[in-house]
Amino acid sequence: MRSNTQRSTWSKLTRGILLRAVITASTLISAGLVQAQNYPSQPIKLIIPFAPGGSSDIVGRAFGQYLAEASKQTVIAENKAGANGIIGTQFVKLAPPDGYTLEITTNTTHAANVSMYKKLPYDALKDFEHIGMFGTSASVAVVPKDSKIKSIADLVSYTKANPGKVFYGYYNSASQMTAALFSVRTGAPMTGVPYKAISNATTDLLGGQIQVIFMEYLPALPQIKGGNVIPLGVTTAKRYKAWPNVPTIAESYPGYEIGFHLGMAAPAGTPPAIVNRLHGWMSQALTDPAFKQRLEDLGMEAVSMSRDDYLHYSAREITRWAEHVKAAGVEPQN
């Protein structure tokens, strides 16, 4: 048994340790608050992990303009494309966690890639501070304007009649999975052709090298409006209000439904006060009539979530895309 002197000494030591822990914690919190109050004091780099022209690029640059105005600081949007968004995402993972390097995240970078690669060089949840979500959207199957294919039914029958001769282009995991799942659900034997950027895939589509692309609404809008492509069917359960005459694929093949989302993240370890401030600016943007209308014009439905809700949503998306990958029979890459 301890003597009274030993107990007294132990008590003093314990109180001292606890006091130092409290002081350290208070100091860190105070430092974080001061850092957040001064944030941002230098330009913010917004990494877009895909080439120009895609959904993440268009929405990222739109938010970059909003963030620059809200924060009174320069925001530099930088495309770091390659490997289905892995190059840009890994760059952000390794960046200093100070709030000055952010990423526009997608269902490709932070959901589908988890199942599509055997050795992903980042943990989609643990390596990032998930700041918030911009919204959701979907894709549309498009063919060249002079194609003999005019409907989803035409695409399926033409593909079945010409096995091995119908190719779809893809430029990220989402565009690959929408087409691969379509092929499995309809029994239409299409072959995928990978592209680094949506612009390259579109060039080959218009040139006749490939027959179809499952393209996100945002980059598809100008192509359809310009009369360059014919929209066959959208990948959501409901028709897209901008194209009321374009059917959903689910109308012909019930159960086929696949969409995507866009969000923003920072490297793990970024001070909570800074992350919360960024989340606040995102939330303000999603209630701003001009920015919200901008998203709607781009084919996105704005969705505002708390940080906790968004983290849970991201975890569910990883599970959902794992199911898509398995159903499509896509083998994970090395």
Using only the alpha carbons of the chain, give its radius of gyration.
Answer: 24
| Domain 44-137+260-328 matches domain 143-251 at the CATH topology level | yes
**Alpha-carbon distances, residue 133 vs 81, 99, 130 (angstroms):** 21, 17, 9
**143-251 is classed in which CATH architecture?**
3-Layer(aba) Sandwich (3.40)
Q: SS3 sequence, 258-281?
A: CEEEEEEEEECCCCHHHHHHHHHH
Q: How many Å apart are CA 51 and CA 60, to the nearest integer?
A: 12
- Please spell the DSSP secondary structure of 290-324, one letter per residue: HHHHHHHHTT-EE----HHHHHHHHHHHHHHHHHH
44-137+260-328 to CATH, choices 3.40.30.10, 3.40.190.150, 3.30.56.10, 3.10.129.10: 3.40.190.150
Tens digit of pLDDT per residue, the chain (334 long)? 455 555 555 455 556 565 565 565 555 555 555 566 789 999 999 999 999 988 899 999 999 999 999 999 999 999 999 999 999 999 999 999 999 999 999 999 999 999 999 999 999 999 999 999 999 998 999 999 999 999 999 999 999 999 999 999 999 888 999 999 999 999 999 999 999 889 999 999 999 999 999 999 988 999 999 999 999 999 998 998 889 999 999 999 998 999 899 999 999 999 999 999 999 999 999 999 999 998 988 888 899 999 999 999 999 999 999 998 998 888 898 7
Q: What is the pTM of this model?
A: 0.81
Q: What is the pLDDT of residue 172?
A: 87
Residue-level pLDDT at 131: 98
* Ranges of each domain in the chain: 44-137+260-328, 143-251
The whole-angstrom distance between residue 235's C-alpha and the CA centroid of its chain comes to 17
CB 324 within 8 A of CB 139: no
Q: Which two tokens stand for residue 262?
A: 């866009």
According to the model, what pLDDT value does residue 17 have? Answer: 61
Residues in the chain: 334
